[in-house]
Amino acid sequence: MAPPPFSLTLDLIARAHPDPVEDDATALHLLTDAELLPGLEGAVAGKPGPAGEIWVFAYGSLMWKPEFAVRERRIGTVRGFHRRFCLLQRRFRGTRERPGFVLALDRGGLCKGVAFRLEGSDPVATLMPVWRREMKGSGYEARWLPVDTAAGRVHALAFVVNRLGDRYAGRLTEAEIAEKIALACGHLGPSAEYLLRTAEACAELGIRDRHLMALQALVAERLRGCGMPLGPVPGPRAEPGPG
């Protein structure tokens, strides 16, 4: 089956956000490895399934930028949670003045994504890179969730939105989410780029996600009609980092 056409394009995004944005380290407090370690050790202690198998469930940027060694990957479905842009991003792909959004798992429905089996025999050392990337901004809660795949069920570490945190946006409409995504750009790039790359990754894997397709069309419409450029205050371009 051919992938669906996208209204949103990298060219459209680049014309809307032509200037680099300076990083504001005060916009989001990041936890250190020492602060992250107890939570990771607690998660590993409660890991279900075979001791030698370490799985992570990817539903957003981890699908197209995993940044860890992979032994196996499977398309899989998590039930009881759905993929949604509900986590505000005031740094990396947004600013204080124009916060963007990143994806999280929120309650209800189901989510199809990718279950990655990681290379490594030490669960703490193996998981620390992804734990650092996803947990340092205090936006997520980590849970071991059952993932149904064609080859059987596995239990994978998944990152669920922290509903009690100040970054949780609640149930905004797709039009409201699209407005913020269209305007937002941080030192790692526009929020719209994160949306497009995730939508493209899902399409390439044969995952049909109505939320992503609706948002990319709404963001494209907003960018075409707003007048260019939209970008915030220019600053030096940062080195690539987590999306």
Residues acting as catalytic residues:
134
> How far from 224 is each of 9, 90, 191, 212, 219, CA to CA, in Å?
11, 24, 16, 18, 9
Burial class (CB in 10 A: 0-12, 13-18, 19+), 237: middle
Burial class (CB in 10 A: 0-12, 13-18, 19+), 170: exposed
CA distance 240 to 130: 16
10 Å Cβ neighbour count for 150?
7
Q: Of the candidates 86, 85, 84, 81, which has an alpha carbon nearest to the alpha carbon of residue 110?
A: 81
Map tokens 């690539």 to a residue.
Answer: 240
